[in-house]
Structure 1
Amino acid sequence: MNAKLIVSPESTEGWIREGVLAAKESILIAAPYVGRVLWDLLLTRPRSLPTTLITSLRIGDVLGGASDIQAIYELSQNHVRVQSISNLHAKLYIVDQAKVLITSANPTQNGWRNNLEMGLALHSSEIARRALQILQAAKPYRWTSSQLKRYADWAAVQPKVVSKPWIVPVELLYKDFGGWLGLVMRAVAQLPEEFTLTEVYQLALPQAAQEYPNNHHPRDKIRQQLQGLRDLGLLEFVTPGRYRRLKVDLMDFLR
């Protein structure tokens, strides 16, 4: 198995562009931060080509400018499956489940064109398979286009500079996000700082029955949204079935 050193700003974007243009089966990109450069590149691929983006969508990263939530939303509109893992730090590009680039470079302007970044590219279906298994074992949360649109719209009207600590509690967000995520946010906002899954069910299930009477697996949907709140940085999983609300102080990201 031969590996090739790939360096930014010289060759990272070129390797990825070549892979996208040659892809026949699938593309997967996993990176905590995403910029407009990825949207520009993925526009060159056939819309029917299965493409997945796994990223981190923590509120602090989005409002601090590390990730472009509008570009991520537009990718979802362009048939890119968007998922999130709250503690993702790896940067991984996989083409056709065999061509692999493991690198320090995020798909951002800095990661591809400005910073000194290094990675190794290789051809190995076994490493690709194992990497995909690790990502799926983290149970990434699936974002719909409508959720990402609400997130992007909300982020667009938030202040970028503040002069005092700015805390974002979950109770200030549920009206903007709506849908299942907003429904669970609304339930969590009524609970103590630390709470159980049973308590979430008690509040959320009656509301879900009214808003989504044709959904026959509301408990599964509620658990999925709790994962989404964790990936936003608003919730901590304490022990199985027990959670803690987090109030995110964004000053560190916005200074």
Structure 2
Amino acid sequence: MQVLLPPLDAHVRDLCFGAVQEVTLVSPWLKAASLRPILTHCRERGLPLRILTVAALRDFVSGASDVEVLADAIACGADLRCVSNLHAKVYIADGTRAIVGSANLTPSGLRENLEVAVLIDDRDEVQRLATAISGWFAVGRRADGAWLGACLSNPIWPHLWGRKDAGATTYRMATGEKRLTQTGS
């Protein structure tokens, strides 16, 4: 075990970029600037990516999370699940190494805030942690293109992004559909 002090972004990036089998990310809040490099890395290497997050409308409205990065994750084939009472922040590579700490997968959490984490490289402990998280995944709501489309059909989306087609654009990114008709737009 190793204590990690801020900034934590390089530690999380190195953990994820060092994976050769699978990456698991657990963070209530997700921002594009922090998640997109990991999405790109996993997609380019064909690595399975599991993401557990909250994905609450209030978090998108407040700017704590970015809905568009969830669309990117879905488009990349990530197994994205949502759990409303999630507070843990855990990043696992290959089921053998993990970072557990206080930092969300956001620029604030990884670079700006005073956060702390520990790197766990004891295989048995990481497996124990991974098993617990798999249980959370099992009860989490699957977030796929249909889920995203339902979320984005909420009339608040155009107001959040300041344009009428914002929700439709993100939905098309996630599902690959060329056209979406929104009701109430």
TM over 0.5: yes
Aligned to 1:110: 108
CA RMSD of aligned residues (A): 2.1
SS at 1:100 equivalent: strand
**Matching residue of 2:29:** 33
* Distance (Å, rounded) in 2 between the aligned partners of 1:32 and 1:135: 13
1:159–1:77 distance in 2 versus 1, CA, 3 Å? closer
State the secondary structure of the residue aligned to 1:83: strand
Q: How does 1:9-88 map to 2 (within 5 A)?
A: 9=7, 12-36=8-32, 37-45=34-42, 46-88=44-86
The 1:43/1:75 distance shift into structure 2, 3 A limit, reads: same
Flag structure 1 segments of 5+ consecutive residues without an equivalent: 161-176, 178-255
Match of 1:133 in 2: 131
Query: 1:27 deviation in Å?
Result: 0.3
- Which is bigger in relative contact order (C-alpha 8 A, separation at least 6)? 2
**Aligned-residue offset at 1:56:** 0.4
Measured in 2, the distance between the counterparts of 1:117 and 1:38 equals 18
Say which structure is richer in strand: 1
Equivalent in the alignment of 1:233? none
Distance 1:67 1:109 in 2: 11
Kindly indicate whether the alpha-carbon contact (under 8 Å) linking 1:85 and 1:141 is maintained by their aligned counterparts in 2.
Answer: yes
Equivalents in 2 of 1:137, 1:50: separation in Å? 18
Which residue is equivalent to 1:187?
none
Structure 1 residue 26 displacement after superposition: 0.5
Deviation track 1:104-146 (CA, whole Å, cap 9, x = no partner) reads 0001010112111101002022222222222233311211133
C-alpha contact 1:47 1:79 (8 A) present in aligned 2? no
TM-score by length of 2: 0.76
1:44–1:153 distance in 2 versus 1, CA, 3 Å = farther
Output the TM-score relative to the length of structure 1: 0.57
Partners of 1:159 and 1:122 lie apart in 2 by 39
What do the CA deviations read for 1:200-237 (whole angstroms, capped 9, x no partner)?
xxxxxxxxxxxxxxxxxxxxxxxxxxxxxxxxxxxxxx
After superposing the two structures, state which structure 1 stretch, 13-22 or 37-46, moved more: 37-46
Q: Is the 8 A contact 1:20 1:42 kept in 2?
A: no
Q: In the TM superposition, what is the alpha-carbon distance from 1:73 to its structure 2 partner? A: 1.3
Q: What is the number of residues matched between the two proteins?
A: 157
Contact 1:47 1:78 in 2 (8 A): no
Q: 1:101 to 1:22 in 2, by over 3 A?
A: same
Deviation at 1:91, TM superposition (A): 0.1
> Match of 2:141, as an amino acid?
Y
- Percent identical pairs in the alignment equals 23
